[in-house]
Amino acid sequence: MKKAQLKRSSKGTWDFIGNKQVLKEPLILVFGDRKVLEANPVCKELKEIYPNGHIVIGSACGQVSNNALEENNPIATAIEFEKSTFLIKTSNILDFEEDSYKAGKELMEQFPKEGLKHVIIISEGSFVNGSSLTEGIESENTEKALVTGGMCGDADRFEKTLVSYNQEAKEGEIVAVGLYGESLEVSFSSSGGWTRFGPQRIVTKSKGNVLYELDGKPALDLYKMYLGDKSKELPSSALLYPLDVLTSEEEQSIVRSVLGVDEAEKSIILAGDIKEQSKVHLMMSNVDNLAYASEKAIELANMGRTQKAEMVLFVSCIGRKLVLDQRVEEEMENVKNGVEKDTVLCGFYSYGEIVPFNGESKCKLHNQTITLTLLSE
């Protein structure tokens, strides 16, 4: 696997991070601030450097390189597989009347199933319901390929997100990169570090990703009670107090971010679906625990590997970034310390992370987690 990484300057030039490599027809993953992507012809610029490149662009809440976390200027990571092959397919949620399940199902149907080993999902993060998207993808994942990736972001603005393949980034797009190859080795992990508090509650009324009642009481009233003075800062303060959700169908609980509140209906709007009769705990942050979670994540991702990782796809949540604040780069440093020096680290801070539970194979939408995908061939 050959790799090269570039950073776009404010002047519109692309500068190589580390050594420049000659790549003929690379897969190029580009992450950048949404406003920068809107204002600049990023795809056109990269086509001048890599005319035969396959360029996937996504907006982010911060983008990761081998050097550091970048807040504004896009980072491009170019990968040329020496033994493996890839196909790229797209779907747009606006073509499916915002039915995320159908969009995910149709997206996965486009791939030849034989030999499909791994799928990287880079999804729009504003209109797409990530939990429905992953269910649609898994409904057509007959060969049980590993699926990982994330929902694109818009910093802490929450206005709109952008994604594209071989064109300038646009709204509604979902891009999937399918990887094929017997020599390809892929491993993954996820880790949180959030702490539960308060009593366990039962979801007594919900619909889709809207939570109406806990223990028969208005969900927003209970949520505000636990937040205290922080409730005056809603909805922005909600990113610091996610929910831990356990359904009857799952053995492991999943974290759900609170994206908004409805004062009139006294409901809470979550980043993924929540089923009635689920068991719920509120969660709060501990900076040390969040920072340590990245150490745990790289340890888990390295377990059982037969080859050293050549690339790490890093997807972590904006909520974690806001809490960690000046310590946010510890996440990247801990991951880099767990791989070889020549391993390339790329990725972004997201509105949702896509990866199976540790020890399982079916992909899920996660929130407030750090997720890692390690690749080598």
The conformational region for residue 144 under phi > 0 = left, psi -120 to 50 = alpha, else beta, is left
Based on the domain organization, do 124 and 16 belong to the same domain? yes
Helix orientation angle between 287-302 and 329-336, rounded to the nearest 10 degrees: 30
Q: How many residues does the chain have?
A: 377
Average pLDDT over residues 100-116: 96
CB 152 within 8 A of CB 58: yes
Dist CA 87 CA 369 (whole Å): 28
pLDDT digits (tens, 9 = 90+) for 174-214: 999 999 999 999 999 999 999 999 999 999 999 999 999 99
Residue range(s) defining the domain that contains residue 213: 195-284
Position 356 pLDDT exceeds 90: yes
> Considering 284, 310, 339, which residue would you say is the last residue of a domain?
284
Sheet holding 63-64, edge to edge: 69-70, 63-64, 344-350, 311-317, 370-376, 185-191
Q: Show the DSSP H helices in the chain as ranges.
A: 34-39, 42-49, 100-109, 130-139, 219-227, 287-302, 318-324, 329-336
Position 157 pLDDT exceeds 90: no
Dist CA 353 CA 358 (whole Å): 13
Nearest of 369, 135, 106, 127 to residue 247 by alpha carbon = 135
Dist CA 229 CA 258 (whole Å): 17
Based on the domain organization, do 145 and 203 belong to the same domain? no
Based on the domain organization, do 219 and 347 belong to the same domain? no
Based on the domain organization, do 151 and 74 belong to the same domain? yes
Based on the domain organization, do 335 and 267 belong to the same domain? no
Based on the domain organization, do 167 and 236 belong to the same domain? no
> Which residues are CB-contacts of 203 (< 8 A; sequence separation ≥ 6)?
211, 213, 214, 245, 274, 275, 276, 277, 278, 279, 280
Domains held by the chain: number = 2
Which CATH number belongs to the domain containing residue 253 in this structure? 2.40.10
What's the CA dihedral at 365, 176, 141, 362 to 10 degrees? -30
> Considering 236, 257, 284, which residue would you say is the last residue of a domain?
284
CB 344 within 8 A of CB 77: yes
> Considering 259, 284, 309, which residue would you say is the last residue of a domain?
284
Whole-model pTM? 0.93
Based on the domain organization, do 65 and 125 belong to the same domain? yes
Based on the domain organization, do 278 and 145 belong to the same domain? no
Based on the domain organization, do 167 and 294 belong to the same domain? yes
What is the predicted pLDDT for the residue at 238? 85
b/e code 53-62 from CB counts within 10 Å (16+ = b)? bbbbbbbbbb
Based on the domain organization, do 129 and 165 belong to the same domain? yes
Average pLDDT over residues 72-80: 96
Based on the domain organization, do 204 and 180 belong to the same domain? no
Query: 342: pLDDT confidence band, cut at 50, 70 and 90?
Result: very high
Position 250 pLDDT exceeds 90: no
Which two structure tokens, joined as six digits, stand for 342?
């020549």
Based on the domain organization, do 32 and 119 belong to the same domain? yes
Nearest of 174, 161, 354 to residue 272 by alpha carbon = 354
CB 64 within 8 A of CB 314: yes
